[in-house]
Amino acid sequence: MSLSARRPVSGVIHSLVELVRNALNLDPLVFVNSGLIVVGLITSLRSAGNVLYTYAEKTCLSTVHVRAEDPLYDDIVRWMNDHAFRRRNFLSVLAQTTNNSDNDKALIRSPLAQLDSDRLISYREVEDNSFIELKPFQGSRLFRFKRTWMLFSHTASSPESMGRPPQLDTNPPLKLQCLSLSLSPIKKFLDEVRAYSRKVSVSSITVFRTRPNSPDLVRWSSVASRPSRDISTVILHKHKKQTILRDINEYLHPHTRQWYANHGIPYRRGYLFSGPPGTGKTSLASAIAGVFGLDIYVLSLLDPSMTESQFIRLFSEVPTRCVVLLEDVDAAGLNRGDQEPGQDSTLSRSANTTPANTSVSLSGLLNAIDGVSSHEGRILIMTTNVPQQLDRALIRPGRVDIHIRFELPSQEELRDLFLSIYSDVYQNAEFSPGERKRELGRLNDLAMHFAGCLPEKRFSLAEVQGFLLRYKRQPEEACDNVRGWVEEMEYGEVAL
Ligand SMILES: Nc1ncnc2c1ncn2[C@@H]1O[C@H](COP(=O)(O)OP(=O)(O)OP(=O)(O)O)[C@@H](O)[C@H]1O
């Protein structure tokens, strides 16, 4: 700025100062000085507070850190949201769209719900069935738990992320502190958090999958929490179903764990589900998790972001009681190489080599399953479409204890599927017991007729279910059209 331009500006400031002095009879510099003193005081108090806090943290504050990958992390955030954060206004929150099944129920009762195949509903006209939840995400909160004051802190991981929306994939650890020389108040709090989480998710299972957190770090991440599938909806030979349920029930019992320990046998149990695609392998694994109240950890050998060491680490990070689901183990081709399918890899040179479609070698997989770091107490379920292609080392007892073979459905199983799809037709709450019995009889006849129109052991239950879903509420129409569908499937003719 030139000298001539600066002169009028200083002149204006001088006149303003004079004006204030005359009007208030006070020197404005007094305000400036007082302001500076206040700012200085606040800064000193803040740094004194920081020094005090750091000192207290070292001497009389108990602190617990919880990593974002630990299931406890989500449990604590849920507890805080449902209890400590309830009656407090936050300025910075995380907005989350949540589907509300109650809204779906309201929609069912509305006039729009009258399903009319000639009337197409635009869902823009209908009230949105999701709602927006505002959840406190970052910040600190002092709260009281059973007469102890606790501090919950959850801050951004790095200064650069301040002011930016929180990155859910890179959650920083959270911190719990209390004024005590012992960790027991925080332990009690964590027990309460776990009990609460178990209570609210008693009839649902959480599915964990692997997710790359950063280019070279893959972590477990919960992808869904959903009502568990009722085991009765999985169609499988009664004897096979009972065999596996009894076996798992016995395995999970604390006495069995003790027995394994007494005999020095690693406490692990593995199952192989084999059979053509769409015959119910994944459905049974998910129903088993529901029956025993376990979460599912899904691993894939074909995950391109996973290295062998990460695979072994992830295997060792699963909790003590859970279902580890290793899907389509044959797809990775772990026994191909210079070895015939079904041959024992101990005789083969290819055990340490990795096929092109996976970075995990057979020895890496075996190491993950029964290496020293592999978690005891978990249930391993491997699924495959071609069991004969699996290396014998992978399915030897100790790694696979029970092999359940799924087959294409028999007439009886086709009938069961039909009855299961149309169960709500006869379970109508408005029916009297007599009406219900009559409906069930009618549906049984339709199911017999339906199954009779289908060739046995030809189509998978997933395919037949796909056909039935075209006639969700019209069992008679399904029966009328099933022969056309069979022709369509056999000869590739599309019958419309
Ligand atoms: N035995 C069964 N009982 C009940 N439903 C079944 C059965 N088999 C298949 N289905 C239905 O078919 C669909 C696919 O089943 P699922 O994923 O369990 O098959 P899968 O054998 O695991 O297939 P893939 O080998 O392709 O992974 C599901 O929607 C399921 O409801």
Q: Is the pLDDT of residue 163 over 50?
A: no
Among 352, 322, 320, 323, CA closest to 337: 352
Tell me the average pLDDT across 155-161.
50
Contacts of residue 409, defined as CB under 8 A and 6 or more positions apart, other chains included, come to 235, 279, 417, 456, 457, 459, 460, 461, 464
ipTM of this complex: 0.98
- Cβ(360) to ligand 1 under 6 A? no
Mutate to test the pocket of ligand 1, among 461, 464, 472 (most ligand atoms within 8 A of CB): 461
pLDDT of residue 249: 94
Q: Is the pLDDT of residue 101 over 60?
A: no
pLDDT of residue 471: 93
Q: Point out the ligand 1 atom lying closest to the alpha carbon of residue 385.
A: 25
Stated pTM of the model: 0.71
Superfamily of segment(s) 217-405: P-loop containing nucleotide triphosphate hydrolases (3.40.50.300)
Q: Give the pLDDT band of residue 275 (cuts 50, 70, 90).
A: very high
Tell me the average pLDDT across 281-310.
90
pLDDT of residue 248: 95
- Cβ(363) to ligand 1 under 6 A? no
Q: Is the pLDDT of residue 379 over 90?
A: yes
Q: What is the pLDDT of residues 404-438, one digit of tens each?
A: 999 999 999 999 999 999 988 767 767 787 888 88
- Cβ(286) to ligand 1 under 6 A? no
pLDDT of residue 199: 82
Interatomic CA distance for residues 22 and 9, integer angstroms: 20
Rounded (10°) angle between helices 411-421 and 461-468: 40
Q: What is the pLDDT of residues 17-63, one digit of tens each?
A: 788 777 777 777 777 788 889 999 999 998 888 888 777 777 778 88
Rounded (10°) angle between helices 433-453 and 411-421: 140
pLDDT of residue 218: 83
Residue extents of the structural domains in the chain: 61-108+122-200, 217-405, 411-491
- Cβ(419) to ligand 1 under 6 A? no
Distance 280 CA to ligand 1 centre (A): 3
pLDDT of residue 165: 47
Residue of minimum CA distance from atom 6 in ligand 1: 280
Query: How much of the chain exceeds pLDDT 70, in percent?
Result: 76
Q: Is the pLDDT of residue 168 over 50?
A: no
Tell me the average pLDDT across 141-158.
80
Least confident of 80-84, 148-152, 248-252, 360-364: 80-84
pLDDT of residue 122: 67
Mutate to test the pocket of ligand 1, among 230, 238, 279 (most ligand atoms within 8 A of CB): 279
If you average pLDDT over every residue of the chain, what do you get? 80
Residue of minimum CA distance from atom 11 in ligand 1: 462
How is residue 434 written in tokens?
């007599």
Backbone angles phi, psi at 102, to 5 degrees: -65, -35
Interatomic CA distance for residues 220 and 471, integer angstroms: 39
Distance 235 CA to ligand 1 centre (A): 9
Q: Is the pLDDT of residue 225 over 90?
A: no
Residue of minimum CA distance from atom 13 in ligand 1: 462
Tell me the average pLDDT across 253-279.
92
Q: Point out the ligand 1 atom lying closest to the alpha carbon of residue 462.
A: 12
